[in-house]
Amino acid sequence: MCFVHRWNISRALDSGKSLGNLTKRHLVRCENCRDFSQLGEEMGRRLTEDAASLLSDVRPGLGEKVRRVVDEQERAPSLSFSKRLQMRPVLAGAVALAVVGVSLIWLARSRPASMPQLDPIFKLKAPTTYLESALQRAESPYQEEILELKKTLKSTADYLAARFDIGLRTNN
Amino acid sequence: MRNLNKAETEVIKAATDATDEDLAARAAAGSRPAFEELVSRYGLRLFHFLRSHSGSDEDVEDLVQETFLKAYRNIGRFDPQRRFSTWLYTVAFRLSISRLRLKEPKPLQLDSEGPEHPSPGPQEALIRKEEALKAGNIWLLARTLKPREYKVLWLRYAEEMPIRDIARAMRKSQAGVRVLLHRSRLKLGKKLRVPSPATGLAEAAAAEQRLFIL
């Protein structure tokens, strides 16, 4: 049960409160825990005193070092992007890789090896005119044929009318 | 050291009487002398607080410098209703943890708090302990503890911080801080009481010499 009482001693040291009766009674008969209690108090006192003696020493370069770096910070309030990249090599590497990747994709898309070049956009109107003329060219033989047939039919009708001297009125 | 004009000197004189929180508020408003006063108040304290980690004194100074730089950049975020020391130690603690992670990446570690002390080997630790016992300053012996144990002792006894503030600075629960303090006391107590093998050997050698003289 000593560990419970030592925990109680530690808590009392932290809170500054006195020990509970149960632990006090235990301390009377347990030398190890009594030692721990005394050592805990002594240790705390020594830690505080020795820290004060450490802090009474002077470390001359330290303040100057901090001031120098703060001066630099004031001169350059916000770091440039290139500086940040220098400070973070992993980030710089990732950015470089991303740039290379995007460039490669861009090159692959803009200059396909096996595909023909497309006409520039301002020439898009031309195919419509070509289409119309081609359509006309495609239609024209039929038109010509029809015209020829019309002519033949008309001359045939004229010949028959003259030969037999018939007319629509007389027939009726 | 840069030369200060009369007005600046007067400001510094006035600053020395101000509380940390007042100085921090002034520094947040753009007062450089107020921040410099904070640096002179806390520089050495942070240096000893961060000494628990491995590395040379120059490395520790770099970490102190980094802490103040971060504090300078973020001083506007400091709430003057709270204790400045807690805020500054929180910044220092977080930086030291991230520095430790960068320096010693250990993917598989059963004990989350790291080894007993990351820097020295067992022989070096023994020598350090011997030196500490000889020098008489208990903090040199405390440096052989785990960094977190050393730090919690520093905040409790050197800074005399309440448990609540230590918990905030070390990002732990108050119960966690109490447990850590208890464990640190037990370990430091053992180191103080039990003589090391080297001490035992020295005592044995001395006894042998006495016998030889007789």
Which of A43, A55, A65 comes nearest B65 by C-beta? Answer: A65
Helix (H) or strand (E) holding B29: none
DSSP B115: -
**pTM, to two decimals:** 0.62
Rounded to a whole number of angstroms, the distance from the CA of B112 to the nearest CA of chain A is 22
> Is residue A114 over pLDDT 70?
no
Q: Which is higher by pLDDT, B20 or A123?
A: B20
Q: Which residues from A are below 8 Å from B when comparing CB atoms?
A: 6-7, 10-11, 13-14, 35-36, 39-40, 43-44, 46-48, 50-55, 57-59, 61-67, 69-70, 73-74
CB contact under 8 A, B158 and A55: yes
Asked if residue A125 has pLDDT above 70, the reply is no
- pLDDT by residue, tens only, chain B of 214 residues: 455 566 666 565 666 678 999 999 999 998 889 999 999 999 999 999 998 866 788 888 999 999 999 999 999 999 888 899 999 999 999 999 888 777 665 554 445 455 554 545 555 555 555 555 555 788 988 998 999 999 999 999 999 999 999 999 999 999 999 999 999 999 998 888 765 554 444 444 444 444 344 3
The contacts of residue B152 (CB under 8 Å, 6+ apart) are B166, B170, B177, B180, B181, B184
Q: What is the pLDDT of residues A32-59, one digit of tens each?
A: 899 889 998 999 999 999 999 888 887 8
Q: Mean pLDDT over residues A138-155, rounded?
A: 84
Q: Examine the pLDDT at A171 and tell me if it is beyond 50.
A: no
Phi/psi class of residue A148: alpha, beta or left (left: φ > 0; alpha: ψ in -120 to 50)? Answer: alpha
Q: Which residues of A touch B65 (CB under 8 A)?
A: 65-66, 69
Q: Which residues of B57-71 are buried (b: 16+ CB within 10 A; e: fewer)?
A: eeebbbbbbbbbbeb
B81: distance to nearest CA of chain A, Å? 24
- Position B95 scores a pLDDT of 92
Residues of chain A contacting B137 with CB distance shorter than 8 Å: 50, 53-54
**Would the CB atoms of B39 and A63 count as touching at under 8 Å?**
yes
User: What is the C-alpha R_g of chain A?
Assistant: 54
For chain B, how big is the Rg over CA atoms in Å? 21
Say if the Cβ atoms of A57 and B44 lie within 8 Å.
Answer: yes
Q: What's the pLDDT score for residue B214?
A: 39
The residue of chain B with its CA nearest to that of A79 is: B73
Comparing C-alpha atoms, which of B189, B163, B160 is closest to residue B176? Answer: B163
Residue B57 DSSP label: H
Torsion angles phi and psi, residue A36, rounded to 5: -60, -40
Instruction: Give how far B62 is from chain A: nearest CA, Å.
Output: 9
Nearest by Cα to B42 from B81, B78, B77, B89: B89
Q: How far apart are CA A98 and CA B137, in angstroms?
A: 55
A95: Cβ contacts below 8 Å, ≥ 6 apart: A85
Chain center to CA of B14: 29
**pLDDT in the model for residue B208:** 45
Look at residues B107, B111, B125, B154 and name the one whose alpha carbon lies nearest to residue B54.
B125
Give pLDDT, residue B15. Answer: 62
Nearest CA in chain B to A40: B185
Q: Which residue of B has its CA nearest to A33?
A: B186
Which pLDDT does position B213 carry in this prediction? 45
Distances (CA, A) of A38 to A13, A125, B68, B107: 11, 101, 39, 41
B141 chain-A contacts, CB cut-off 8 A? none
pLDDT in the model for residue B203: 45
Query: Hey, of A6, A8, A47, which one would you mutate to test binding to chain B, going by the most B CBs within 10 A of its CB?
Result: A47
Q: What is the 3-state secondary structure (H, E, C) of chain A?
A: CHHHHHHHHHHHHHHCCCCCHHHHHHHHHCHHHHHHHHHHHHHHHHHHHHHHHHHHCCCHHHHHHHHHHHHHHHHCCCCCHHHHHHHCHHHHHHHHHHHHHHHHHHHHHHCCCCCCCCCCHHHCCHHHHHHHHHHHHHHHHHHHHHHHHHHHHHHHHHHHHHHHCCCHHHHC
Q: What is the ipTM of this complex?
A: 0.71
- Note whether B56 and B71 are within 8 A (CB): no
The Cα–Cα gap between B8 and B15 comes to 10
Supply the pLDDT for residue A92: 80
Specify the pLDDT at position A160. Answer: 85
